[in-house]
Amino acid sequence: MRYAVFGAGSMGSLFAGRLAASGADVVLVGRGDHLDAVERDGLRVVGPDDEETRVPLATARDPGAVEAPTALVLCVKAYDTERALRDAAPLLGISTDVLTFQNGLGNAETVAGFVPEERVVVGTTSHGAYVPEPGAVRHAGVGETVLGRFFAANGARVESYADDLTAAGVETTVTDAPERAVWAKVLVNAGINPATALADVPNGALVDPDATARESAGDGSGSGGAGERVLDTAVREGVRVAAAEGVEFDPAVAVERTREVAERTASNASSMRQDLQRGRATEIEALNGEIARRGDAYGVETPVNRTLADLVRLATQGSGSDGRGR
């Protein structure tokens, strides 16, 4: 089994580093200071309990120089999927699987434009990771990872990918319903990411009971559950769009799950907040933007998701990017 991980961000680095440390054949494909540092000194992986290892890890800047892998693992931002697949075209062998571990809706469909549908594997992960400095990745929070073929039945190969990741310390299970796993993550991201990005607050601010209490006290110092209202409505609209696609969630459970994630990651800056702060493109089109577009297609109203998407577009325009990484 040979893995080529595309995208030297936090998740790509974590997967590639953990796989390499477990002895798997893996190359990390990307660019920038971080990749340079990994090429020079190996990847420093800091675990959730502060344990540290330095892992020698093969890197490549030119996908054309990479030997055809068994699995191409896409960890680039959702808006970069097409560009990454065009770059990867020379190394896609006749049986290479493409695993997408990206946020948002529509990634599997994009991948299926490049490889036959039976080779599309979709994964979601709730691990927390970040790159604290070039050459290092911090595995901040242990989560769950699931994967499964999106358009075909799972087989031995998918089991092997899950086994390899589990052996590498990223416990992974195989699911027969990857579209449900994707939607579950989308609902959480749609409920947390744009609100925290636009308000420039940590995730926990959305569910801060103190803020609610302050407003009830009437002294005007609290946000009065504003975050909860936005989260609640964005998630419920998303649940209705998912239902129109035949993926059913209990709305109250979906809201509660999103609240729990906001509480568990209370001090984190969401990925979209970090993107906006740094003037980078965001994943809004694959999240709330796509919920609104699919809502239109099914005749499901999504005013809050549409407005959140428009506001993030506006904020991104203000930073000089067109929101698509260009």
| Given 185, 273, 294, 306, the catalytic residue | 185
User: How many Cα atoms sit within 13 Å of 38 on the Cβ side?
Assistant: 34
**Partners of residue 5 on adjacent β-strands:** 28, 73
- Measure the CA angle with vertex 150, ends 147 and 154; round to 5°: 65
185 carries an active-site annotation: yes
61 residue type, one letter: R
Least distance to ligand KPL, CB of residue 217, Å: 29
Least distance to ligand KPL, CB of residue 271, Å: 3
d(CA 37, CA 17): 13
Residue 37: CB atoms within 10 A of its CB come to 19
**For residues 78 and 158, which CB has a smaller minimum distance to ligand KPL in the complex?**
78
* Chain contacts with ligand KPL (rule: CB under 6 A): 188-189, 192-193, 203, 261, 265, 268, 270-271
**For residues 168 and 188, which CB has a smaller minimum distance to ligand KPL in the complex?**
188
Nearest Cα to Cα of residue 124 among 286, 275, 4: 286
**For residues 42 and 202, which CB has a smaller minimum distance to ligand KPL in the complex?**
202
**For residues 110 and 271, which CB has a smaller minimum distance to ligand KPL in the complex?**
271
d(CA 301, CA 196): 23
**Which tokens hold the place of 275?**
């993107």
d(CA 161, CA 139): 20
User: Rounded to an integer, what is the distance from CA 173 to the centroid of its chain?
Assistant: 17
Nearest Cα to Cα of residue 102 among 84, 125, 118: 125
Inter-residue contact 173 to 146 (CB < 8 Å): yes
Angle between helices 156-167 and 10-21 (to 10 degrees): 90
Least distance to ligand KPL, CB of residue 224, Å: 22
Residue 216: CB atoms within 10 A of its CB come to 11
Least distance to ligand KPL, CB of residue 123, Å: 14
**For residues 4 and 11, which CB has a smaller minimum distance to ligand KPL in the complex?**
11
Least distance to ligand KPL, CB of residue 62, Å: 29
Catalytic residues: 185
